Copies of this chain bind each other. A is one copy, B any other.
């Protein structure tokens, strides 16, 4: 059985003290093992990054960017292989994995712009003969801790920009599906990255805690669930690091009576069930305003969900694949059951779908639940499965209140044709990423990604312009030159 190891100082390594199984969720079988880094291994990775920092920091940004241009090309060239690796360990169908990868590549593209993005602000004459300017200098060694659900993309949210800004990096990908991240890191080396600038360690809490407490780590980026995000943020801060920690979500769509209903339903399908709902931007709650809209919505959704196919990652005709583990499958099923028990209506029931030939895979079918109420557990918590819940309210204000009262504030959306409704919604909703007729309002790579409330801990959002600020520290220089003999005072005898 293959063991996935670490990439430290440009070399692949296997740290064999402890390992953990890596499953193929489509089959339910453990097909690989991942090495779990010891404290010493993580410290070695940090040391490699630390050693690589001075030279990399002094490499001109335009030269650092050249590595990113080549990296982008290699990612395109190896897209199929990467998607296969994602599929094997995460269960994503090829089209979905390719979507993930494409989004990741867009972050590499943004990092190519580092020379422009790192420009500081220059002021001539802040006082007579005094100039002042700000530079954005790299932090040093920074770390990224990433989740299973976007094994290729989320690391690419982090280290391309961190590295393009002149930092060196230690990545700890999810131990559930680490291979694609490892493979991609090798491509970056193939693109010309010097050894030590990017290091990848696999591991569990021990590795995480080492990263969080080692003085040489200057910043930590994290994406995962809210309780872990909160832990990471607290420990990192207590250890003098800057930190941005992205957590969970409960993303609502408001469906207004004037919405183009066919369009809305069509959009909701992908947003709710794509990637089995294992996305922090998954649209998991549809709030219909007015009973008429609700009836139409539930009717059309039920119809549209009928042909959806859940199945193994290897069949591109499937709409979505399994969830990540047996335990998670049970948890998602449990939420459906609890909603049912709490009085909601399970309109389409995805529990225990039959996936012929893959009976041991971790599948949950597309599920639609109507008449969900705010006090239900299935509403209050993040399900992270292919479950769309419908709520019915009397007014847009009521719908907005629901959203604003929820502890999460990651993404949200409104379906309407009305300019005023859209503007009022986007202005007043307490959510970081807002869609207007766009159910998955993930910002493009040149904007930044971030939720509000307990969906993100930290001041600065992920990727895009905020990432440049997060991965650099501001230095402000004020300069005055005293009067100069060279220019003024000296006379230079000239032959008469």
Chain A residues near B (Cβ < 8 Å): 58-62, 65, 69, 72-73, 106, 109-110, 112-113, 115-135, 137, 233-234, 237-238, 240, 242, 256-258, 260, 263, 289-293, 392, 394-396, 416-424, 426-427, 431-438, 441-450, 452, 454, 457-461, 465-466, 469-470, 473-484, 486-487, 490-495
Contact among B258, B427, B447, B494 for A134, CB-based, below 8 A: B447
| A474 engages B480 (CB within 8 Å) | no
Give the residues in chain B near A417, CB-CB below 8 Å: 418-420, 481-482, 484, 486
| A441 engages B486 (CB within 8 Å) | no
| B132 engages A443 (CB within 8 Å) | yes
Secondary structure of the A contact surface, majority rule = mixed
| A61 engages B118 (CB within 8 Å) | no
Give the residues in chain B near A134, CB-CB below 8 Å: 122, 443, 447-448
CB A370 to nearest CB in B, in angstroms, measures: 13
| Given A119-B121, A119-B446, A418-B486; 6 other pairs, CB 8 A cutoff | A237-B237, A394-B491, A424-B487, A432-B475, A436-B481, A450-B476
Copies of this protein in the assembly total 4
Give the residues in chain B near A434, CB-CB below 8 Å: 475-478
The 5 closest A-B pairs by CB, nearest first: A290-B492, A420-B484, A420-B481, A436-B479, A122-B122
Alpha-carbon separation in the docked complex, A223 to B394 (Å): 48
| B109 engages A69 (CB within 8 Å) | yes
Contact among B117, B419, B470 for A459, CB-based, below 8 A: B470
Q: Which residue of B lies closest to A70 (CB)?
A: B73
CB A198 to nearest CB in B, in angstroms, measures: 20
Give the residues in chain B near A392, CB-CB below 8 Å: 494
Alpha-carbon separation in the docked complex, A62 to B242 (Å): 31
Alpha-carbon separation in the docked complex, A479 to B420 (Å): 10
Give the residues in chain B near A257, CB-CB below 8 Å: 486, 490, 492
Q: Which residue of B lies closest to A424 (CB)?
A: B487
Contact among B113, B127, B450, B470 for A474, CB-based, below 8 A: B450
| A444 engages B486 (CB within 8 Å) | no
Given the interface pairs A420-B482, A486-B420, the reply to whether A436 lies near B493 with Cβ below 8 Å is: no
Alpha-carbon separation in the docked complex, A113 to B423 (Å): 25
Give the residues in chain B near A475, CB-CB below 8 Å: 426, 431-434, 452
Give the residues in chain B near A449, CB-CB below 8 Å: 476
Alpha-carbon separation in the docked complex, A73 to B58 (Å): 25
Given the interface pairs A441-B478, A474-B466, the reply to whether A133 lies near B122 with Cβ below 8 Å is: yes
| B474 engages A432 (CB within 8 Å) | yes
Given the interface pairs A130-B438, A484-B417, the reply to whether A65 lies near B473 with Cβ below 8 Å is: no
Give the residues in chain B near A234, CB-CB below 8 Å: 237-238
Q: Which residue of B lies closest to A113 (CB)?
A: B113
Q: Which residue of B lies closest to A236 (CB)?
A: B237
